[in-house]
Amino acid sequence: MVLKIRVIKYQYITTSNTDGEFKMHKLYTTLLILLIGTGMATAGVLGNGFTYQGELQDGSVLADGSYDLTFELFDAETNGSSVESLITVDDVVVTSGVFSVELDFGNAAFMGDQLWLEITVREGASSGVFQTLNPRQKITATPYALHAEMVALDSIGSGEIADGTITGDDIATGSVDSTDIDDGSGSNLDADLLDGLNSTHFATQMDTNNNANAISNLQSNVGNLEVESGANTANISNLQSDVSNNTSNINANDTNLQNQIDAQQVLIVALQNQASAPPKILGRSAQTSSGRFQFNNKTGVQAANAMCTATYGGIAPTAHLCDISEVNRAVSLGNYGTGTIDNVETWTVAHNFEHNANVSLFNNCQSLMDNSGEVSRGITLTVDINYQSSGLGGGIVGDVLNLLSNKSCGNTYPVMCCE
C-alpha cells in the first residue's frame, strides 16, 4: 500500500540574481512515504530512505531548470542542534515547479523525538551561498513508520507473527529472563513444562563456567603455540643462516683446496718434465753463504735449495742446489748459460772426497756441522767454459769442471742452481 501525503507549505525567500533584481521563491512540499500493510508480501527489507517531493516557484512562476538543495534535521524549529549530517543534492531537475529527491538520514535519525527539516536552495549553475527557506518544516508522524517506537499493549498477537520470523539473533542478550516468561500460573518458568524436558537437559551455571574456563585454557594454549611457533621460526631462520654461512665457508675452503691442488699439479708436471728432460744449469744463486749453508731461517742443504728458489723460483719452480752429476751432464749437453756460471767459484756437496790421509775429515762442510772450530773443510766447484789448456795439454779448448777441496767452511760463496 502506497500513501502519498501532500503537505502544503508556503515559504518565501528573497534573493538577488546577477542583475540585482529580487525573486520570490515559493516552495510546496509533498512527502511520499511507502507504508507496508499487514500481510503484504515483501521482496526485501525496507531501507531507511524516503522520497521527498516539493513544488518550487521562482517568484510567481513555476520553476524550471536545475537547482542545488540541502536538507538537514534539527531538534528545534529555530536554532537548536543538528541531529544528522547535512545532505546535499546537486543539480536537482525541477520541471514545472515539481522536484523529487531521495533522502536517507540513517537508522538512528527517527528515534521518537520531534524533528524539523531545514532546506536551503540555490540555482544549479551558481556557486554562491545557499539561501535558507524559513520556517523549518515539522516532521510529522508518518516517517516514524520506519521505526515503530511504541506498540500498544496486546496490539500484536501470535496470529500476526509468522512462524520463524523471530530468531535468537533478533533478541538482545539479557533482554528476556525468567520473570518475562509466564507458565500460565503467574510463576516463573518451570523446566518440566518445556516440551517434556527436565532440568538435566539444560546447562547449569557450573557447566557454563567450566566451558568458559575450557575456552580460556584453549585460548591460552593457542597463544603459547603461537609464541613457540615464533621461536621455532626464529630458530629455523638462524639454522638457515648457519647453513648459508657454512656453505660459503665450504665453497671458500673448496676454492683454496682447489688452488693448492692446482699448484701441486703444476709442480708434479714440472717434476715429471725434469725427470724426463736432461738437467739444466740455471746459474749461481744471488745469495752467498758459508759452507754450512744458512739462509731464510734454514740450514744445511735446505738452506741451499732455498737460495736457489729465491733466485730462480719465478722462472723455474723446481730450482735446487746442483749435485756434481747434474753439473757434469748439463755441461756435457751444453744446457747452461755462460754468463751466470763461467769461472765462478761456488759451494757444492761432494761426499767422500778426501783431501789427505786422515779419512775422518771429508771435504764436506755439511758432514761436520757439529764440529767446533774450522777443522772441517769443504769443496767448491768452478765451471770454466771454453777453457784452453796450456803446457802438455797442447792448447786444447773445452769446458772444464774444477773441484777444489780443502776450502775453509767459513768462506762465503754462492751455490750452483739447477732444474
Q: What is the pLDDT of residues 279-335, one digit of tens each?
A: 999 999 999 998 888 899 998 889 999 999 999 999 999 999 998 899 999 988 888
Q: For residue 84, what is the domain's CATH number?
A: 2.60.40.10
Beta bridge partners of 54: 29, 99
Residue 359 confidence (pLDDT): 43
In the DSSP assignment, the letter for residue 314 is: T
Is 379 domain-assigned?
A: yes
Residues 364, 110: Cα–Cα separation, whole Å = 125
Structural domain contains residue 79 = yes
pLDDT given for residue 176 in this prediction? 73
Tell whether 268 is covered by a domain: no
Provide the pLDDT for residue 11: 38
Tell me the per-residue pLDDT of 221-272, one tens digit each, with 9 for 90 and over: 998 898 888 888 888 989 999 998 888 888 888 888 898 898 888 778 766 7
Q: With b meaning 16 or more CB within 10 Å and e meaning fewer, what string describes 146-184?
A: beeeeeeeeeeeeeeeeeeeeeeeeeeeeeeeeeeeeee
Q: Confirm whether 230 is domain-assigned.
A: no
Range of the domain at 133: 2-38+47-146
Hey, how many other C-beta atoms are within 10 angstroms of the C-beta on 291? 26
Mean pLDDT score across all residues of the chain: 76
Among 111, 128, 146, residue at a domain's last position:
146
pLDDT reported for residue 351:
59
**How far is 8 from 6, CA to CA, in rounded Å?**
6
Question: What is the 3-state composition of the chain as percent helix, strand, coil, each rounded to the nearest 5?
Answer: 30, 30, 40
Chosen domain end from 103, 125, 146 = 146
Angstrom distance (rounded) from CA 182 to CA 197:
17
User: Is 15 within the bounds of a domain?
Assistant: yes
Rounded to whole angstroms, how far apart are CA atoms 48 and 391?
142
Strand partners, 294: 299
Res 70: pLDDT: 95
Of 129, 146, 163, the domain-final residue:
146
Helix extents (H) in 114-204: none
Share of the chain above pLDDT 90, in %: 26
User: Length of the chain in residues, anyone?
Assistant: 419
| Cell numbers placing 239 | 639454522
Residue 206: inside a domain, yes or no? no
Number of domains in the chain: 2
Q: What is the pLDDT of residue 90?
A: 94
Q: Tell me the sheet residues that pair with 362.
A: 354
In a domain, 208, yes or no: no
Eight-class DSSP state of 159? G
Is residue 321 included in any domain, yes or no? Answer: yes
Task: Write down the pLDDT at residue 6.
Answer: 39
Residue 259 CB contacts under 8 Å (≥ 6 apart), including other chains: none
Low-confidence ranges of the chain (pLDDT < 50): 1-26, 28-42, 144, 146-147, 149, 191, 193, 353-355, 357-361, 368-373
